[in-house]
Structure 1
Amino acid sequence: MKKEIIILLISWMAIVSLYFWKIPTRLKGRAQTAFLFGQSIAWIYVFLSVYFKRVEFPFREFSYATQLSFSLHYMIYPAFAMFFEVTYPSSHSRTSVILHYALFVVITNLYAFFIGHYTELVRPLKNEFLNIPIFTFLLFVAHQFNKWFQKGMQETNN
């Protein structure tokens, strides 16, 4: 079995396990909203990255159907956005929010770096350091959307 398949299987199992065992029931709806919105912005991001030749995917699950990686941008990166949202600090201290963003941007970039340099899951073609502000912006947009969505849900339920 190729190492790419093993890495994807481990990533899928870790995400599903963490979702079921670490996210409280009261936060599952919020997590699912963040995950689905994360999928939509991940798709836009990866589509533009492939279109502008910033990245290519030598190993793809559906190689005849698309130039994109299914697992990375429809499961793994949206899961980062989901866990970011669920663990977002409830205190609004600027320091804790900045540290939270920094932690998730570092984790996401480390994951992208390691799979980009040690596997055939992704091959970065241009400057990878551009991902840092992009991931930060995408997490910010996902958080703002989820905050807006949750506010609307609370107004509807009242």
Structure 2
Amino acid sequence: MSRYKDGGKQMAKYTVEKGISISSIILTTLLLILFIPKEKIRQALIPFLFHQALTWFFGLIVVEKGLIRYPFRYYFSRSNKSSFIFEYLIFPAFAVFFNLFYPEKRSLLIKNIHYLFFTSTITFFETIAVKYTKLIVYKKWTWYWSFITIWISYFITNLFYRWYFKQPPCN
């Protein structure tokens, strides 16, 4: 149920959600520009595009099955029920940083901390968004399902990244 009497049809009332969406786009774009060296753009594009494909497929399944709802969608609100900004920009950008800065030659503990950091960061901000905004609403979903699926998506993206660049399998 919408928190607005008009059913949420007037997007002008979603000022917090608009602000978060626009600032997320700007911040994510700046992080990519500032922290991806020119010589690693090719290495960055692979996890970005692959992760977009993953999130497109699985994100749509989750939304269409009614597990998650995105009441406020700044882009493509009539053509797609998923969150374009999260599924196609923010989450894939995190996958880029996850893969480019993956501690390949470190211990299994450090690798797991790397997974934990990246997975927890997105899960934390998602739970804040669920509690305080209308960007996302859990219907038949919880934060730990997000945590698990985010972890798995990083793992799959990393496998693809390593395969694409002909790196040996991770430990």
Q: Give the aligned partner of residue 91 of structure 2.
A: 77
Q: Runs of at least 4 residues of structure 1 off by over 2 A?
A: none
- Aligned pair 1:115/2:129, yes or no? yes
Q: Which runs of 5+ in 2 are unaligned?
A: 1-11
Aligned to 1:148: 163
What residue is the counterpart of 2:119 in the other structure?
A: 105
Q: Which residue of 2 aligns with 1:12?
A: 25
* Aligned pairs, number: 152
Q: Which has the higher helix share?
A: 1
Q: 1:73, CA displacement in angstroms?
A: 0.6
Q: Pick one of 7, 31, 44 that aligns with 1:31.
A: 44
Secondary structure in 2 matching 1:45? helix
Percentage of identical aligned residues = 28
User: 1:84 and 1:42 mapped to 2: Cα distance?
Assistant: 15
Matches within 5 A, 1:58-69: 58-60=71-73, 61-69=75-83
- 1:48 to 2:61 alignment: yes
Q: Which amino acid in structure 1 is aligned with residue 156 of structure 2?
A: V
Partner of 2:9: none
Pick the aligned partner of 1:87 from 101, 104, 126.
101
How far residue 127 of structure 1 moved from its aligned partner, in angstroms, is 3.1
1:133 aligns with 2:148: yes
Query: Normalising by structure 2, what TM-score?
Result: 0.84
Alignment RMSD: 1.4
Structure 1 unaligned blocks of 5 or more: 153-158
Distance in 2 between residues matched to 1:81 and 1:45, nearest whole Å: 15
Distance 1:25 1:42 in 2: 26
SS at structure 1 position matched to 2:127:
helix
